[in-house]
Structure formats: structure tokens, C-alpha cells
Amino acid sequence: MSATDTRTDLGAFVCVIEELHRDLATADAACVGRFTHAEVTLDLGTSPDWIGGGLADDEEWRIEWVKLYEGLDLAHGFVTTGDPRYLSTWEDLTTSFCVQVPVGHDTSDVSARRLQNWLYAWQRFASSTSFEGFRPGVADRLRRRILDDVEHLATHLTAERNHRTMELYTLLLVGLAFGEAPLAADALGLLAENAALDIVDDGVHRERSSDYHMIVLRSLVGAVANARLAGLDVDDRLLAATDRAATFGLHLQCPDGTTPALSDGDQADFRSLLSFASRVLGRPDLEWAATLGGRGVPPKDTAATFPTGGYVVQRSGWGDGSTPYGDERWAILDCGPLGDGGHGHYDHLSVELAGGGHRIAVDPGRFTYADGPDGWRRWFKGTQAHNTVCVDGLDQTPYRRGKPKGPTSSAHLVRRHTEHGLDIVVARATSPQYRAVHERTLAFVGGEYWIVIDELADDEPHDYVARWHLDPSTQGAVTVRAAEAGSIVETPAATFVVLRDSGLVDIEDGWVSPTYGERLPAPVIAIAAPRHHTATIVTLIDPLCRSPRSVIHEVDGDHHAVQIDWGGSRDDLAWQPSSANWSRT
């Protein structure tokens, strides 16, 4: 054998995450055996103990570590600098893994993600003009190990949901990389079947998690792109499901370009994915969102409803008018079933809001999957960690770390009516934990501000608390004062006006987890109506940070009327199931 192993060519395939892993600092740290995951850095060496190393008490840390995303950063470092230590480090890491870790040691989804990252890094290294081959035997060892892993993976596929999608996509990639045409074709067919099942008719992934929805979308778009590159026929079911999922991904995006952390997610930036999907699917509206209005064509729909998936989105515009893209108003309301599997948080009727270049009310995220004695998994998954109403301090669904057992809470969209600049969304939630019924009205007025009306009723008294979780950037900058209109809560992002008789207003300590393992202190607006049979909590939320002189809300059955005196102008709103009207004088 020659001094280098020259059998390094792979079949052509598209890497869908290359732009996410171009960090030379991460590559340099890996070269000295230093790895950072979930905000924890460990020195483990370049031929580490892959089975016993890492955090013994945090399974999730090891799971992320053994996927070896650092390989892409190492490959980027090699391509951009030609420094051989990046290649040598990757060879040490991968070959030591092959020696130490038996096939099938990790779960199918973890093995599948590792195989993807190995292939992506391999392809990137081999593309460099500095690449003269791997050390003797490395390519053959990796090739044998990948094929052995794939043989095991193919007979141990996860039965359903996002793990299965990712595992099938891995089989497709390996088939294309190693010229295994039957493997690639079979994987592509199974992907089409799985996508048709997992992406419901309105485009929402069945787990109802924003982060996992976008991760699945990345695999689906990658499958379409790679199949076309290889000259394979793409099943219409796969194309249709991918297109539907891309539409929901488009509307998930906040005006700042990020995607919210709904049900076990992070506040992530998927703009590069939307741009990729725009090219693959031929959809210039996705490119518009990916570039924050810089290229493409603005989407037409600002009032998007996903009744099966259970989400409603309100948006003032797409930056194609007088308001810049990043300053548009945006809201998403959760009013559907608890997501399949264990990712669903107990957040029925929770709302996330943004406007004027700020996150106004945020989903705190997930922080951890570990169900330790510190209780953080339970807190972040629980009802009080969401922008909804908590009854008697209970979670809407009895807590479990993963998939619930027994009855769960439920929610549904009652109606939506948009007319004369007023978008009215009414949704209702029930829980097996109590008999009180929660109905929430989200009124979006003139593309400017929101009025939220929470109505709760039972024949016995309860302690009702409506919460609004604020962005960590507002920590230490929230004030509460009494006024004629009610309690005025002033924040850097918006003014909250809680009408008189709605409840007692307080600022609680809360937390927001922008990424897994990161926990930042953040204020929470809490509106308490203790020991009430029925309660009506009315909150005006204004991104313009105005303080109205007075706000009057009157209700007669399904007919609502609101009058707002802004001290120079007056808004009159009225709505009922069949009509809605807004005027300013």
C-alpha cells in the first residue's frame, strides 16, 4: 500500500449543513481534544474514551459528542488553511471510535447522525486542493465501518417520526456515496412513505415541535436535492410533503429571521435551510424569508391557519410595505393536539409575540432532556413556563419526562375571522387535571397591537394565573405602575396593559433557554385571579410602547366591544362570530 490511502472518492451528494459548521475555534479545540456541548467543555483527547468518557451523569452530552459535528469544522479548517493537523485530528477521532465502539452500541438515530457527519466531513476533506489522501488504511476502515453500521441501521430503524426520517436519509446518503444504488432507491421510497405520514395535511410535522419540524424539513429537502442529483425519480408524495412542510416553516419564522422554541426546541436560525428549499422547490417566497426581504417574492398570506397541526400565525406584513421586515408584528398561537411522542410541552393556548424589532413574549425553550432532581426538565416542559393560563398551579397534562401516559389536555381552534383590519382568533383548551375550561381570544388590531382575552369558568373556585415570559434582554428593565386603564407593565419591547378587575399583577423570576443547556434569567409578568369560579383577564400588548388613557372592554355573550383612548386618538373594536370591525377617530 502506498504512503497514503488513495481510495477516497465518494459518489456525489449534497451536504445540507455545511454552512453551519465553519468554526475554526471549534476545529482548533478539537485538535487538542477539547469538546463543548450543552455549555459544558471537557478535555478528552483526540483518541478519547468514546464509551466511558464525557459526562457520566448527562447522557445527552455524550449523544451530541459522539455525533462528531466537529468533523465538519475540522474539514473547513483544512480546506481554508491546508493545515494537516485538522485532517490528522479527524483521522484520530474516527479511527479510535471504530476501534472502541461496537456496531449497534448507540441508538439508531445517534448512529445515523454520526454517519451523516462522517460522510459530510470526508467529502469536504477530499474536496481540498491540499488533500493527498488519508493515512494508510483509514479510508478502508471507515468504509467498512460505515457499511457495517448501515447494515445494522437498516434492520433497526426507528418505527416512526423524526428519528426515522433522519435514519432513512442517512441510508440514502450512504447509498449515493458508496454507489449502492438499491440501498439509495429503497431509502428514497421509504422516505416518501414516512413523509406522507409524518407531515399532516396542513404541513405541520406530527410532533408539533418547531425545531424538529425544521430538522425534518432539512432531511426532506436534502433527499429531494440528492435524489435529483443522482438522477433518481422523486415520489410525488415526498415532493408534496416537503412543500407543505416548507410552507409551515416559512410562517414559523419570526421577523428577526429566527424560529421560535416551541416544544423541545431552540431559538434557531433556519434561514439557510429556507434558501436551500427555495432553490430545490422553486419557491421564491422562501428566499424572501431567508433573506429578510432582500431577494425573492414576498409571501401573500399574513394570516396563516394550520388547523390540523394546531397553530395560528398573525403577521402585519413581510417587509414589502412601509414597515421594514424586522419590525413587522408577528404572533403564533398553539391551539392543537399535544405533539406525538415526548416532545410536546404543556402549552395549550400559549402565544409567542414579536414586533418592532423585539421579541415581546417568548417560549422559554427546553434547556435539558435530563430528568434530574433539580426539576429543570419539568419546569421548562410545564404549563407555568409558557404564555398561557395556569390553573391551581397544575400542568395541563400530568408531567412525564417523555411521552405522556393517560389522558392529556386538548385544544382546538373555535373560529377565526379577519375583517376591516381586525384579525380575531378564538381557541379553547381543556385539561384532565381540572374542569375549568379556558377560552382565549387573540385580537390583532390594525397590524399594530394585540388584545388578549382569557375567559375561564367552572362551578368551583380556582387559582388562575396568566403568564407572559419576556426575553432575557429585558431583565432589570420592567416596571409596573397603576393607571386609569389598569396596571401598566412597561418593558423595552412592549407595553402590557392589564385591565382593571382582571387580576393582581406581579413580576416573577423566570428563565429562557435559547439553546440546549443554556439557561438565562428572564422576567415573567404574572396576572393572578385567585379563588375565582370564573375569570376574565384582558391584556393589551402594544409594541409601540404606548400607555392608553383608558381601555374599556364590554362583553355580551359572543359579542365583544373594546374602546381604547390613546390620548389623541381612539380605537373602537367590535367583533362577534360573523363579523369584526375596527375604526380609529
Mean pLDDT of the chain: 96
pLDDT tens for each residue of 50-74: 999 988 677 889 999 999 999 999 9
Name the residue among 386, 392, 393 with its Cα closest to residue 411. 386
Is the pLDDT reported for residue 358 higher than 90?
Answer: yes
Backbone dihedral angles phi then psi of residue 298, each to the nearest 5 degrees: -65, 140
pLDDT tens for each residue of 540-583: 999 999 999 999 999 999 999 999 999 999 999 999 999 999 99
Q: Report the C-alpha gap between 125 and 16 in whole angstroms.
A: 16
Question: What pLDDT does 8 receive?
Answer: 72
Is the pLDDT reported for residue 4 higher than 70?
Answer: no
Question: What pLDDT does 2 receive?
Answer: 34
Question: What pLDDT does 6 receive?
Answer: 45
pLDDT tens for each residue of 518-541: 999 999 999 999 999 999 999 999
C-alpha distances (whole Å) from 266 to each of 199, 214, 391 are 21, 11, 27
Residues 261-265: what's their mean pLDDT? Answer: 95
pLDDT tens for each residue of 207-249: 999 999 999 999 999 999 999 999 999 999 999 999 999 999 9
Crossing angle of helices 138-154 and 108-126, in 10° steps, is: 150
C-alpha distances (whole Å) from 526 to each of 332, 387, 505, 550 are 20, 10, 6, 21
Three-state DSSP state, 482: strand
- In 386-503, where do the E strands start and end? 389-391, 410-419, 422-431, 434-445, 449-469, 479-483, 486-490, 495-499
Question: What pLDDT does 304 receive?
Answer: 98
pLDDT tens for each residue of 276-315: 999 999 999 999 999 999 999 999 999 999 999 999 999 9
Residues 513-522: what's their mean pLDDT? Answer: 96
Question: What pLDDT does 226 receive?
Answer: 98
Q: Report the C-alpha gap between 336 and 413 in whole angstroms.
A: 7
DSSP 105: S
pLDDT band of 437, cuts 50, 70, 90: very high
pLDDT band of 3, cuts 50, 70, 90: very low
Name the residue among 231, 125, 246, 237 with its Cα closest to residue 181. 231
Q: SS3 sequence, 258-295? A: CECCCCCCCCECCHHHHHHHHHHHCCHHHHHHHCCCCC
Give ∠ CA 318-321-325 in degrees, rounded to 5: 40
Is the pLDDT reported for residue 7 higher than 80?
Answer: no
Cβ(168)–Cβ(131) below 8 Å: no
Question: What pLDDT does 147 receive?
Answer: 97
Q: Name the grid cell of 197.
A: 405520514
Name the residue among 328, 185, 178, 334 with its Cα closest to residue 261. 334
